[in-house]
Each structure stands twice: as C-alpha cells, then as structure tokens.
Amino acid sequence: MMKRVDQKTAVITGAANGIGKAAALLLAEQGAKVAVTDLNDEDGQCVVAEIEAAGGVAKFWHLDTSDEDNVQKVFSDVAREFGSIDILVNNAGIAGVNKPTHEISKKEWETLMSINVTGVFLCTKHVIPYMQKSSTGSIINLSSIYGLVGAADLPPYHASKGAVRLMSKNDALIYAKDNIRVNSVHPGFIWTPLVEALAKDSPEGPEAFKAELDSRHPIGHVGAPDDIAYGVLYLASDESKFVTGAELVIDGGYTAQ
C-alpha cells in the first residue's frame, strides 16, 4: 500500500523532542526520508535510531535555526544527501521568559524572536530555492493558540506566534505560483519538555499547574505530541494539495470558547 508521504523528503527543526520528534517518527513511518535537525545532538541521534529501528530512513544534522550560515549549509547538505526537499516543518521554538511586558529586557525579547520568528524566516528563505527547483513543496509552521488569542502571560512568545501565523499566510500567497504551500498549525497545550519546564517553574507546583492547564481545554485535558503530528502529516501529504494559507487549530476546544 502507498504510504501517505512516500517518495518525499522532509526537514524538521527542533526534532529531538516533543512535537518535532513525534512529527519525525510519523512522517518516517508514512514513507518520508527525514532530516532530523536540532541543537541537541544526543536526543536527535536517538530519534534517528528509533526511526531506523522501525525500518524508516532518517539522518541527523546539528542545526541552530537562528544561525543563517548553519541553516544554509544544512539545507544544502540535506538536498545533496536526499536529492530534494519537499517538506519543511518549522517546529523549533522556545517559551521564553514569563513576566509582564514592562519587566522584560530587550535582550530577553530578542533572544526569543531570533529563534521563534527569525528562525522560521531563515529556514523558509533557504528551503524555497530547492522547492522552486522541483515545483513542489509544503512548509508547515508551528504557531500556537498563543498566536490566535492572548492569555496574559509569556508576552514575547505571543508576539512571536502571532508573527508566524501571518508570515505563513503571506508566504502562501508569494509562493502559490510555485506550487509551494505554506500553512500554520496552532496547538493547544501539549505535554512536552517545553510545557514540563513551565510546570516545574510554576509557583503553584507542577501537579496543580497541570490540573489547571487540563481544565482550560474543554475536552478535559492537554494534548499529546501525536495529536499535532497527525495534523503535520496531513499538511505534508498531497491529501492537502488545495490547502494553503490555512491555520490548523488542534487545541481540544481551547479557542472555541
């Protein structure tokens, strides 16, 4: 049977953990050759080993998405190794500081923006020529429910995810003529190392924090990395060939209220 992303090659940023890891495993299971990229070499190599053990094809590249030289070099290496780049999942992101806007330093603001916004820009910039060459491509940008509505916390994160939402729509328009689709995904809270770290740092303690997070989702609990990976798979596959500039909300009803 034909798998859902057979014959395709994918680059996933921040693929060593959490949502990126789940997307890497699922795309590989569904036939894609996967470039697992991350700052964290050890966890990234583990993801590759897991894919290979399941019979899939993957390779690890060390990639800091905020470093343009690094991005350019890795995309050129991936294209040489795999022959093309059909799918880019701009997943790498950080939560940043959680304090009111007037207490945030310019440095703290810029550090988050360099990864959550500039990183998405740089990876998009350097993947486009490869996608134009083969007249096909799907770029999937991880925004958030925090790119749709406010929550009175994490100010730089909200700003960054709002930017990613509109960068996706605008790039969808610029590259539609090249048959390159660009969409954003908007997860509710997903239990990953990122959210575990927020829980650990919370004044009320991790358990109360998790219970409170669960209660914010009408479906009764936070999501799992696979819940998002299945959305990424859909947008990566040709099943979504008429979908571009769309925002795929996967949030247990968080933003329906």
Q: Which positions are annotated as active-site residues? A: 157
Q: Binder to ligand NAI among 10, 11, 87, 91 (CB under 6 A)?
A: 91
Stretch that binds ligand NAI, among 1-9, 15-23, 75-83, 96-104 (CB under 6 A): 15-23
Token pair 């053990």: residue: 53
Taking CB under 6 A as the rule, does residue 13 contact ligand NAI?
yes
97 or 179: CB nearest ligand NAI: 97
Taking CB under 6 A as the rule, does residue 182 contact ligand NAI?
no
Cα angle 87, 92, 98; round to 5: 150
Q: Binder to ligand NAI among 9, 14, 122, 165 (CB under 6 A)?
A: 14
Taking CB under 6 A as the rule, does residue 65 contact ligand NAI?
yes
Taking CB under 6 A as the rule, does residue 17 contact ligand NAI?
yes
Kindly tell me the sign of the dihedral angle through the C-alpha atoms of 175, 141, 46, 157: positive
Q: Binder to ligand NAI among 94, 104, 113, 149 (CB under 6 A)?
A: 94
Kindly tell me the sign of the dihedral angle through the C-alpha atoms of 239, 5, 89, 98: positive
Total residues contacting ligand NAI (rule CB under 6 A)?
29
CB of 214 to ligand NAI, least distance (A): 12
Kindly tell me the sign of the dihedral angle through the C-alpha atoms of 221, 225, 226, 229: positive
Nearest to 128 by CA among 63, 84, 160, 186: 84
Nearest to 237 by CA among 1, 2, 6: 6
Q: What is the dihedral of CA 47, 51, 69, 235, to 10 degrees?
A: -110
Taking CB under 6 A as the rule, does residue 195 contact ligand NAI?
yes
Contacting positions for ligand NAI (CB under 6 A): 13-14, 16-20, 38-40, 63-66, 91-94, 115, 119, 142, 144, 187, 189-190, 192-195
